[in-house]
Amino acid sequence: MTLKKNHRLSLDKFINYALYDKNNGYYMKKIPFGNLGDFTTSPNISRLFSEMIAIWTVSYWKNLGSPKKFNLIDLGGGNGEMIKIMIESFKKFPFFFNCCKIYIHEISSKLIKIQKSKIKEKNIKWIKNFNKLKNSPCLFIANEFFDAMPIKQFVKKKNDWFEKYVLFTKKNKASFINKKINIESLKKKLNFDLPNQQKFFEYSPLAIKYLENIIKIIEKDDGGLLILDYGYDNENTKNTLKAIHKKKHSDVLKNIGNSDITYNINFNLFRKVTKNFKLIDINYTNQKKFLTKIGIKQRAEIISKNKTFKEKANIYYRLKRLIDKREMGNLFKVMLIKKLNNNFQIGF
């Protein structure tokens, strides 16, 4: 896309350009993770995280009746660290590993190259869409996946609603403007109403589309969707749009293409979407409770045996970052979307 003077884009199209434009997009030209990037995800903090997700996955597979054909889909594989460690753990459960077909859903060609350099397993495939999934139970893992999607924002002024747009006054010089909309058409598109007192609303059309498509697959073939992401659970949405540049908060309209743009998931909105599917149910908790219930503290004790004091301190420092309420423990939420007749409760 070529941006010109007086070019107007809705907020979600602007974010899509800033993050995913094939020539200028942040995720298409930069390595966003780790020391060289702008943020660090749970799998890069400690391998304990990925090991726990792997053990939970095997338990979930057993709960489904240990199907001989099973699809595991890593949504947005990041730098490949999570699935790499998960595979190492899966190999300790050969019967499961032989039944499991692993897919990584990634749209960034740069990140795919990084993932392929780390993962050499033959039973992994990279997919752009879900059409190639075989008709077997599918478990989707979405760790910090939905927060990287473009969002729309709307504000109510008196009795009218307006959508946020970005106006380019010059190349890479931009400002926010509002455009009046018909809120009823938005409600119809969402298939649920907005609270009367609400004066602000943000959501990702792409996230809702992904959510609905995945739920349809779960309804048809069984399986589940495990979401781990930072967010909140409230009837009213908040303005959570932010940009990160060189590991610091930045102006969304500056450093376009060189900053990560993200937002906090409103899990209440995800609840409303799932309620449109009568055969679907959810479990919900925070990351501290989830990881603690599936045994991350016990695993930390096991791997810290016979380690030096410095090594032990490093293990527990990283564990604290994952589960402390003042860090990722409460900021990150965990939601499992599954069939209504599935009573799986591990971690919740």
Q: Across residues 255-260, what is the average pLDDT?
A: 88
pLDDT in tens, 322-333: 999 989 999 999
Residue 58 inside a domain? The answer is no
pLDDT in tens, 138-178: 999 999 999 999 999 999 998 899 999 999 887 668 899 99
Residue 328 inside a domain? The answer is no
pLDDT value for 3:
65
Total domains present in the chain: 1
Q: Across residues 279-290, what is the average pLDDT?
A: 97
pLDDT value for 229:
96
CA distance 249 to 242: 7
Residue 118 inside a domain? The answer is no
Q: Are 285 and 226 in contact (CB under 8 A)?
A: no
- In terms of residue numbers, what domain contains 169? 11-26+33-38+144-282
pLDDT value for 98:
94
Q: Pick left, alpha or beta for residue 270 (phi over 0 → left; psi -120 to 50 → alpha; otherwise beta).
A: alpha
pLDDT value for 255:
87
pLDDT in tens, 292-318: 999 999 999 999 998 999 999 999 999
Q: Residue 205: CA atoms inside 13 Å, Cβ hemisphere, count?
A: 12
Task: Give the CATH number for residue 177.
Answer: 3.40.50.12710
C-alpha to C-alpha distances, 17 to 13, 85, 323, nearest whole angstrom: 6, 32, 34
Give Cα 223 distance to the centre of its chain. Answer: 18
Residue 102 inside a domain? The answer is no
pLDDT in tens, 90-117: 999 999 999 999 999 998 888 899 899 9
* Type of residue at 315: I
Is the predicted pLDDT of residue 35 greater than 60, yes or no?
Answer: no
Residue 215 inside a domain? The answer is yes
State both tokens at 242.
């932010």
Q: Are 9 and 16 in contact (CB under 8 A)?
A: no
- pTM, to two decimals: 0.92
Is the predicted pLDDT of residue 344 greater than 70, yes or no?
Answer: yes
Residue 321 inside a domain? The answer is no
Sorting pLDDT into bands at 50, 70 and 90, what band is 34?
Answer: low
Is the predicted pLDDT of residue 4 greater than 80, yes or no?
Answer: no
Query: What is the residue whose two structure tokens read 């060289």?
Result: 36
